[in-house]
Chains A and B, each alone.
Chain A
């Protein structure tokens, strides 16, 4: 009983770490956008994944962010 239980815990922890890492890398930005779009029911269809990432880098072009020394 205890072995599968600890295995599940290891798997959960690994999943959480992977989620955290992807979040820090910025990978979940599109999902966050979709969630926002769905919650607010803002009219029209949401951008596709490809459109979203293009839009994101275009916005960075117009609003550069500093990186620290």
Chain B
């Protein structure tokens, strides 16, 4: 056992740490011994976790009662995460990544006290989680709930363990070894000019589609809702106030200003309730979806050209504050109220593909509907760049990268539970497009009862009572997932605080919570996309590289906003229902980005020469590739109009050519023309995405094979620098780590090393 080289690395022999300092890394043999020593208490603990997890899974997957309690979802998820974290992520660490705490991280050898700043692992975990978690894990599971609770639960939990968390962990580690380089830069280095360029274009296109669809979720949540429009628009003056406060009154008082902002936010929600009861308020703030979409487009442009301190930074603080607070609150509320869930484990929509919420069978469409929470390519953009520049010690990447993603997966499970806890009839009435329900209570009742679902009989009263409980005019066809989740959250929260009288408050609190994330993502996404565009145009017109050149910045911002704005308007005006047709594109785009990130990771692993464990990135890559390429091909080639964009396109075009004046859900010639146009754009986007992804994956396979023939490849890592600091790796310090911490604490302050930067 002791002969085994643990934590060894190609550079290991050249690294000499300062002999006058205590060790900067735990002795690998001692760490190994601690790991392998199974005391009776430790065995009992893990047997207990395994048993509880096993019982929970049995109840979810095998026992078929009338209802199932939500607490089993929580136990199944948490126990499985713990086992995966303890065993699988450790396996990856030991065999594939081999972090070496004797090496300094970029936060140490490039320290500048600003971007490169070693940050406590627990703080950084929170930072990273706040950066990766957004509206995605809240929306996808809600839409996938139409297939029953089991497929979504299985995919969220198994997907995160073998795909999502692996991607985040690998990308973060490799970026850290490269001084915090971005995914795009790594792709160019590892995959060459063709693969790198394809990855860059794909990233840009994917960002546009993701921003557009997130904005569509907000538009659908705010349409015809004076309360929602008022409270969400109040976030803009609140953020401006916070920005001025931080800039001129009390710089740096971040928590203080966030608390003030939060109180103002609550007042805005309460104020929205009053306003929605006045005639002038309803008159002023009842906006149709097209007006709101234009509002968001104008907002997106202005927000992306304003200085960061005025709007983006304070909004970001507010959104982080809300994120952490609300997620903890929701977890506590689910455990306290333990709602009973009456949705079947698997519904007929999983196999028939006729679901009214999102069309398509379980394979592949479940896996693209739930993207964030199981596997989200977007995380690769966060995990490369900001977070790696702040990691204190290499071994902490397992806790922050793998562990951070497990937490996001847990958020997705909670969103799924919230969506499952509402009445199924109401769920389908809210999530079927207006093309199906006609947008009226009568239409929705007829449509939902006509679906022939066992145990579902919707009454008009149920819909109107729920609408008045949550303070809305109507809840019919409130698609996009956010309103459904808000109803679910409101139902759970009123069980803990305030009772039925508070439901409207909680509903609008949840809408606000989601809108806040999404608008921050819209703003930040537009900025990032604008910089990427400026950088690309800069290859031909060098002046565009200068990011302080206002005209260039404005032109590129306008192009990006026009890109997502056009898709947004298309989604809002789509006669077929918008979100139902566009959401698969969102999931496909996100998973293709994941495939690109995993392809880069696979090429890096191959160049490091670790072929025996190449399956760790290759397995999720193969799965993501098969899912997204199959889904894209179905979207392109399927002859079923509800699934294939081009089939829909041809059906409507032929109907127009035949001189028909209405066809399917489109009642006018103009609507039919809109469908022809929209399906053309959606079909083209599908082709572009899948072609780019195939190029990237192919170049990565070529790079991998080349590396295999040569037994490895060129190493693009930064040269190793010996570390001069120590910190524990996980949440809780091990005995060996505590010993080292004590040795470091005993060191005279004058002898402690200065972390040199340049």
Contacts and interface: CB of A to CB of B under 8 A. Distances in A.
- Among B112, B130, B254, B324, the most chain A Cβ lie within 10 Å of the Cβ of B254
A69 B127 contact: no
A44 interface: no
Contacts of A35: 113
Contacts of B317: 25-26
B379 A68 contact: yes
Interface string B543-558: 0000110000000000
Contacts of A28: 123
A27 to B, nearest CB: 4
Contacts of B112: 36
Interface string B514-531: 000100110011011011
B235 interface: no
A55 to B, nearest CB: 8
A1 interface: no
Contact of A33 (B113, B321, B531): B113
A32 B119 contact: yes
A36 B113 contact: yes
A36 B111 contact: yes
A63 to B, nearest CB: 8
A49 B320 contact: no
Interface string A3-40: 00000000000000000111111111110111111011
B561 interface: no
Contact of A67 (B127, B308, B385, B521): B521
- Among A24, A26, A29, A61, the most chain B Cβ lie within 10 Å of the Cβ of A24
A50 interface: yes
Contact of A41 (B258, B385, B548, B754): B754
Given A40-B755, A67-B134, A57 B123 contact: no
A67 B372 contact: no
A61 B527 CA distance: 9
A59 interface: yes
Contacts of A27: 252-255
B135 interface: yes
A22 B313 CA distance: 16
Given A24-B123, A25-B321, A59-B114, A66 B528 contact: yes
A26 to B, nearest CB: 6
B754 A66 contact: no
A43 interface: no
**Chain B interface SS verdict (over half):** helix
Contacts of B247: 53-54, 57
B755 A65 contact: no
A1 B91 CA distance: 47
Contacts of B374: none
B312 interface: yes
B122 interface: yes
B210 interface: yes
Contacts of B136: 68-69
A16 B386 CA distance: 25
Contacts of A21: 255, 324
A7 to B, nearest CB: 24
A49 B251 contact: yes
B113 A24 contact: no
Q: Return the 4 tightest CB-CB contacts between A and B, nearest first.
A: A36-B113, A24-B126, A23-B123, A64-B527
Given A57-B307, A60-B312, A62-B548, 13 more contacts: A20-B123, A21-B255, A23-B119, A24-B127, A25-B254, A29-B252, A54-B247, A58-B308, A63-B115, A67-B319, A68-B134, A68-B376, A68-B382
21 contacts: A22-B254, A23-B123, A24-B320, A32-B117, A33-B113, A33-B114, A35-B113, A36-B113, A40-B755, A40-B756, A52-B251, A55-B114, A64-B308, A64-B527, A65-B386, A67-B131, A67-B316, A67-B319, A67-B521, A68-B378, A69-B590
